[in-house]
Chains A and B, each alone.
Chain A
Amino acid sequence: MSSVSIRNLDLSFGAVDVLKNLNLEIAEGEFLVLLGSSGCGKSTLLNCIAGLIDVSGGQIHISGRNVTWEEPSDRGIGMVFQSYALYPQMTVEGNLSFGLKNQRMPKDQIAQRVARAAEILQIEPLLKRKPGALSGGQRQRVAIGRALVREADVFLFDEPLSNLDAKLRTDLRVELKALHKQLKNTMIYVTHDQVEAMTLADRIAIMRDGKIQQLDTPSVIYGKPRNKYVADFIGSPSMNFFEGDLSAEAGSCVFEGPDFTLPLTSYEFETPQIGRRKAWLGLRPEHIVTGEAAAAADLSADTIVDIVEPMGSDTLVWVNFGGKPIRVRTDGQSDLEPGDTLRIGLQSARASIFDHQSEDRL
């Protein structure tokens, strides 16, 4: 049985449709990340699940119960917010116990739960302090603790790490993953950061304009994006695209680009019947091989280096190919300079082909 089930969810504000006939099944203990750029409806969906926004249509079930019209506190959820949303006038202990007091839970039981959450999150020394006296990372720990004491079935995270600086964000990300492993709750996590999504998620739902574009494991989303939007969104630096024509000749398929032809000998088509049509070819910068490996690729070509961006761990090289500058990722010790000639190799096995019109994967 799934832990959270969203059925035909609609949400509109006036004439604006924010969520459109959205369906989503989340398994028990799953870590699901809702990923998308701002305004895609991911936070709104999370707020609907929490009961903080009234839906216009459809149903939300949590742990097998229809909670579409229940109060947020009755849904068996805990929630962590981007701005921490700690009650400034209460101590850390007060923040953790506020929800339990509202449930009229006996005092000794509250103390027990607070102590346990504080232990898990290692915030025991902070219990008597007020949020104002805490650092950003400590505040976010307390915010997670507030969800933890509720012993909820489902945890909702609304961009919980966005307000932290880069180093702390990485640390807390790892801690969150460990926490999930320990607690085994269902977690729904909203973010616009693809690194967080890729590292944390069991499955990622990529959203755009109130619709889920693709729902799959991180590796499938990265390797086999459903459409051009997903392909472009995931991956940094992002994918190179070429406009061209697909043609099937004597059983073998080729992509005819602006001034190259890539034989798609090892490309796995989703649809078996591919006629001649306009299409997009997508190649990730890290999937373009250079040097000796290029010779063994489906297509190899000499290109002129335009710009070199050393990034430490690897080097991003802009070369001219197919009539435009494209990104190629090479190793960090590259001594390439603008004007040099670089041999690159394109492999059909790791490419993505999208229909030109629908932009869906072929």
Chain B
Amino acid sequence: MTDQSVIEPSGSKPSKRFSRGNIILYGTLIVVSMYYLLPLYVMIVTSLKGMPEIRLGNVFAPPIEITFEPWVRAWAEACTGINCDGLSRGFWNSVNILIPSVVLSIAIASVNGYALAHWKFKGSETFFTILIIGAFIPYQTMLYPIVILLREIGLMGDLAGLVLVHTVFGMPILTLLFRNYFTSIPEELFKAARVDGAGFWGIYFRIMLPMALPIFVVAIILQVTGIWNDFLFGVIYTKPETYPMTVQLNNIVNSVQGVKEYNVNMAATLLTGLVPLIIYFISGKLFVRGIAAGAVKG
């Protein structure tokens, strides 16, 4: 026994790299990866081809002659109805919607989460429960009452109205995210700050906020992708001039007028997907954390 353990390393033998099981495993993973990569690949190659080349046929073939014209046209010239100023308008609309929505929704939700974690009051848990249940209610049941509310305060069709809608519908998941994070901060720290004479806002800004930076990054990732990708609220609560990028994209691609320019369409689609894709590839693991937290948003 002892002799053997001297000769052979203890523990299980490292499995051979090319065992039959491993070949099947990696083979399957590679084939599946192709299914996931295919649409991205097709979008890219199509957007770099000219229309004659596309009419020749194979969506999967790489471009013979690379052209960036479809990208330029998608950005600056693509038509929705009579407007032919491209996706750039939708892009800037989306940016104008995105920034205040992200800031406002995170500001409110982080304060909510903080209050729920450390300043519980009678009924606070009830409101929180309603908020969480609200995340599961189909948006369709709340769409029209919100139209009325926005009309009452004069923000229907206005970007500010859409910002409010994003803040409201982002609130359940973000509040949950922040509440869970702030609950994980030791209560003694909060108590120490109270003994030191810090109040509600003092503790929030001086103690909690500096400790919560990672969760703010998660929340920003969650909100940027979520709000950028929104279609439903954009189509309902804005006017054509203020349509966000997703709505404008759909109108460009699915427009029934004129000849279909598939390369321009794919360039436009890629342009719209670019912002969340960039965030996805930069943020890496934090994105996974963000979507795992935001998954209930559905």
Contacts and interface: CB of A to CB of B under 8 A. Distances in A.
B211 A88 contact: yes
Interface in A44-72: 47, 50-52, 71-72
Interface string B66-80: 000000000000000
A83 B186 contact: yes
Interface string A85-127: 1111100000000110011000000000000000000000000
A203 interface: no
A78 interface: yes
Contacts of A231: none
B210 A81 contact: no
A98 B206 contact: yes
B188 interface: yes
Given A87-B207, A89-B211, A98-B206, A73 B196 contact: yes
Main SS class of interface, B: helix
A157 to B, nearest CB: 12
Contacts of B195: 50, 52, 72-73, 77-79, 99
A82 interface: yes
Contact of B191 (A74, A78, A81): A81
A89 B192 contact: no
B239 interface: no
Contacts of A85: 186, 188-189, 191-192
Nearest to B202: A102
Interface in B177-234: 186, 188-189, 191-198, 202, 206-207, 210-211
A284 interface: no
Given A83-B186, A98-B206, A102-B202, A47 B191 contact: yes
B191 A98 contact: no
A235 to B, nearest CB: 31
A146 interface: yes
Contacts of B198: 73, 98, 102
A158 B188 CA distance: 10
A82 B206 CA distance: 22
A74 B193 CA distance: 13
Nearest to B209: A89
B47 to A, nearest CB: 46
Contacts of A83: 186, 188-189
Contacts of A79: 191-192, 195
Nearest to A97: B196
Query: Number of contact residues on A: which range applies?
Result: 20 to 34
Interface in A1-53: 47, 50-52
A73 B191 contact: no
A139 B159 CA distance: 50
Interface string A151-179: 00000001000000000000000000000
A83 B186 CA distance: 8
Given A83-B186, A88-B211, A89-B211, A102 B192 contact: no
Contact of B188 (A72, A73, A82): A82
Among B194, B196, B202, B211, the most chain A Cβ lie within 10 Å of the Cβ of B196
B194 A146 contact: no
A147 B191 CA distance: 13
Contacts of A51: 194
Nearest to A84: B188
B221 to A, nearest CB: 22
Contact of A146 (B188, B191, B196, B210): B196
A137 B260 CA distance: 73
Contacts of B207: 87
Given A98-B206, A102-B202, A72 B189 contact: no
Contacts of B191: 47, 50, 52, 72, 79, 81, 85
A333 B195 CA distance: 52
B192 A146 contact: yes
A99 B197 contact: yes
Among B189, B193, B197, the most chain A Cβ lie within 10 Å of the Cβ of B197
Contacts of B196: 73, 98-99, 102, 146
A71 B202 CA distance: 14
Contacts of A71: 194, 197
Interface string A343-357: 000000000000000
A158 to B, nearest CB: 8
A125 to B, nearest CB: 23
Interface in B32-53: none
A83 B193 CA distance: 14
B188 A81 contact: yes
A99 B191 CA distance: 12
Contacts of A50: 191, 195
Contacts of A103: 197
A77 B191 CA distance: 13
B127 to A, nearest CB: 19
Interface of B: 186, 188-189, 191-198, 202, 206-207, 210-211
Given A74-B197, A85-B192, 11 more contacts: A50-B191, A50-B195, A73-B194, A81-B191, A83-B186, A83-B189, A85-B188, A87-B192, A98-B196, A99-B195, A146-B192
30 contacts: A47-B191, A50-B195, A52-B195, A71-B197, A72-B195, A72-B197, A73-B194, A73-B197, A77-B195, A79-B195, A82-B188, A83-B186, A83-B188, A85-B186, A85-B188, A85-B189, A85-B192, A86-B189, A87-B192, A87-B193, A88-B211, A89-B210, A89-B211, A98-B206, A99-B195, A99-B197, A102-B197, A102-B198, A103-B197, A158-B188
Q: Which 5 A-B pairs have the closest CB atoms?
A: A73-B197, A99-B196, A102-B197, A85-B188, A85-B192
